[in-house]
Structures are given as structure tokens and as C-alpha cells.
Structure 1
Amino acid sequence: MAIRDIIILPDTQLRLISKPIEKITADIRALADDMLETMYKAPGIGLAAIQVAQPVRLITMDLSKKEGETNPRIFVNPEILSVSEELSVYEEGCLSIPEYYEEVERPAQVRVRFTDIHGKVHEEDAEGLYATCIQHEIDHLNGVLFVDYLSKLKRDRVMKKFTKAARLAAK
């Protein structure tokens, strides 16, 4: 296992649409392991493969709340099947947009289908933090960032801030 670099806004790779995974290979398993290690080190609760510059439809997540307890989850080719009309608001952050948090409104419940790392297909209903996180990470696979849900003013402000930081870091 290895910790990978997380790409940061304004990196244009974050806007790529990730490709479906045809077959779960040793390389995909190794990528999932690296993503979990990277996510825990960051620390974060979710990570999409595109955030470590791998444009494939793979997500890792761990929503365990107790200190020292883990519940790692791996989602291959996740897709949202349905969403509730009811909405909820959560404060979201993103490992690719460090130290920036905003409230985002999303469907309160979703039904999701995914394949686990062993090739078994699952369908689950998600609500609360799980619903928010799975939507956030699937958005990454589709080149969408949580800042895209903000007002144009807020979105422009955060883009300007991270573009300036990237310019300064490149010097």
C-alpha cells in the first residue's frame, strides 16, 4: 500500500469523467488499498479515484464515527438509481479543495448500485451522511465538484483563491 498525492483545485483532471471498470484486477485492488490509506492519512471520509489522478469509477469511504474504529467501504462503478424529493443540507468539504467548507443541498435519500471489490453487485438505500457522501463522490466520477452547487459568486471566489494558490506554489 502507498499514500498517493491528492490533486487539488484548479487541476483540470478533477473535471474528467471517469471510465467504468471492466474487470476487478489486482491493480484495481491495489488502487483501492492505496486510496483507503490516502483517505485515512488526509484525513477524510471519502475519496474518488480521480482525486489521485486515476480516471476510473472507484470510490473509497469510511463513515465510522468512533475513534480507532474503521469501516472501510469500496464502491466499484457506483451509480445512483433514484433520489428522494426531500432535500437535506450538510456542510461539505473536499480533500481536493482543502480547508474550504460550505453547506450544500442534496437529495436526503438515494438508492445506489455498486459492485464490491470481490465482484458482487449491491443495491442500498442511503440517507444522512451516507447519502451526502456517496453523492459527493459519484459527482467526482462525473467531473462535478461540490462548489458547483454554490452560488456563482461563492464558486468564482473559491476558484480564484485556489488558482492564485496554485500559481504561487508553482513559483
Structure 2
Amino acid sequence: MPAQSLLFYPDPRLRLPAASVEAFDDVLRAAADDLFEALKAVSALGLTLPHLGRLQRVMVVRLEPGDPATTYVNPEIVWASPERAPQMEGSVSMPGVTDLVERATQVRLRFQDLDGTVREESAAGFRAACLQHEIDQLDGIFWIDRLSRLRRERAVKRFGKLRRP
């Protein structure tokens, strides 16, 4: 999947909630493969189908290049710790711009694998922040929506300057 097929801010589809996956079939597997290829192509840690313009609740996360990727279908956070910590975040849909986002330090999520089997995973620290970031995207919450109004405006302005020819 070529990197050009990614959506870029301010594409309105980045703020639309993704639909739940109902069919666990070859079409889903092909979409997950496309997503993984795009993740590798842009050297991302995580990516969702909405980043590719497909509004389905599928995401792939791989924090290190040599690690295996995990595909999450219909993920949802079922518990989040009250403790919060800032993590530096950004998006392949807004390249070159990062800022600190506060998130729960630990989460537990429920999701399905590509066969439809329900699974749970607990995560802490950086992995927890990455999972929350990607689930936000599936919910139509772009990462800058978690910033204060002033920091969000500054991020948009920085991105605008980077996009100018």
C-alpha cells in the first residue's frame, strides 16, 4: 500500500467514527494486510483503517520494527487507570508535528482478532498511550483534539507552514 493513499489533516474523514467489523473474512484479512503494508511504508508505530480512508474499526500496532504486529478488530478500552502521564504524540496524517498528550498510564482493552475471537490485553506506559491514540482515531478523535485550544491552534499552524511549497 503506497504512502500516498494516507489521508492528511484536515481531511474530514479523520474525524468520523469507524463502523464495527461484522464479517471476519478474506476481505478483512486483505484490509489488515494493506494496513500493515502502509504501517511499514510510513514507519508508523500504529495505524488505523480510517487513516487509509476506510471507516472500519481495525488497527495495527507494532512499536519496534523487528517486533510482530498486532491487529486489533473492534477494539475498545474496558478499563483505564486514573493515573495519567504525558507522552509525545503525532500522526502520519499530520507529519512533522508532535506535542504532549496526557493519557491513562494503564489500560485494558477488549478486541477481536482476524478470526473474530474475542481477546483482552493489558498495557502500560508507552504501549498504553499508543493503543489509546489509535482507538481515539477509530472513534473519530484526531490526536490534536486532546490538546488545549491554544496548543491545538499552534499545531495546526506549524503543520500549515510545513505543507507550504
* TM-score interval for Structure 1 and Structure 2 normalised by the shorter chain: over 0.9
Gaps of 5+ in 1: none
Q: Is the 8 A contact 1:111 1:124 kept in 2?
A: yes
Q: Any idea what the Cα deviations from partners look like across 1:90-148, whole Å, max 9, x if unmatched? A: 11111111011111110000110000112211111111111001100000011111111
Residue 71 of structure 1: how far off its partner (Å): 1.1
Between the two proteins, the alignment pairs up a number of residues equal to 164
Whether 1:21 aligns to 2:21 is yes
Is 2:86 aligned against 1:84? no
Contact 1:10 1:159 in 2 (8 A): no
SS in 2 for 1:131: helix
Contact 2:85 2:102 in 1 (8 A): yes
> What is the deviation of 1:54?
0.3
Runs of 4+ in structure 1 off by over 2 angstroms are 157-166
Q: Match for residue 3 of structure 1?
A: 2
Letter in structure 2 aligned against 1:158:
A
Quick one: which of 118, 126, 133 aligns to 1:136?
A: 133
Gaps (5+ residues) in structure 2? none
- Measured on the aligned residues, the alpha-carbon RMSD in Å equals 1.7
* SS class of match (2:36): helix
What is the rounded CA distance, in whole Å, between the counterparts of 1:97 and 1:82 in structure 2?
Answer: 29
Residue in structure 1 matched with residue 54 of structure 2 by the alignment: 54
1:59-100 Cα deviation digits (max 9, x unpaired): 011013xx6x23111000000001101112111111111011
Percent of aligned pairs sharing the same letter: 37
TM-score by length of 1: 0.89
